[in-house]
Chain A
């Protein structure tokens, strides 16, 4: 399969927890990677592999997987977390890169 499906928009109250999901058959073979993108900026990797964060990414960001669904959880969302979030992996063949359509996170 060559598609990753994300909800277009999610909102969360300041300080609360939110989960952003990504669904696709390839996620049974590969862990999703997650990227945060703020307006006018390049994407930034926030989660990769089973649940790893690059240096400098706050530990309120975490990742998980169940079956063909990957999740990005933000525990205690902050105003600066308001952004677009994209999931990504390879397709089931492993040869092509695929991105989800993105989820706009609004922090209320």
Chain B
């Protein structure tokens, strides 16, 4: 059974870089067949896609965040990471990692981490 676990980031100061990792257990990230996503949810608001990476290929990012975000894979640790630079209070959110399955005609996020709360404040 695949499980995802986000690292703790807690409090990040404005203008600094937010860094999170998602540890994957039960399946190798690089065995293919799934996209590995980051999704966030500001307090009281809806889900916002941040980006994904497939195996160790080129990541894709939300255009609204593209200039500040980076997603990468660490094969040796079977985890993938998120870096978001120049954070502001608007980046305060619960951050989730999620596995995305796909077949012809659909994509779905079938496994989610529990989420980690990140607050941007001085």
Contact = CB atoms under 8 A, between A and B. Distances in A.
A49 B47 contact: no
Contacts of B108: 33, 45, 48-49, 88
Contacts of A96: 49, 60, 62-63
Given A42-B96, A42-B113, A97 B49 contact: yes
Interface in B1-49: 37, 39, 46-49
A66 interface: no
Given A42-B115, A95-B60, A30 B47 contact: no
B62 A48 contact: no
Given A42-B96, A42-B113, A42-B115, A99 B48 contact: yes
Interface of B: 37, 39, 46-49, 52, 60, 62-63, 96, 100-101, 103, 105-110, 112-115
Interface of A: 30-31, 33, 35, 37, 42-45, 48-50, 54, 84, 86, 88-90, 95-102
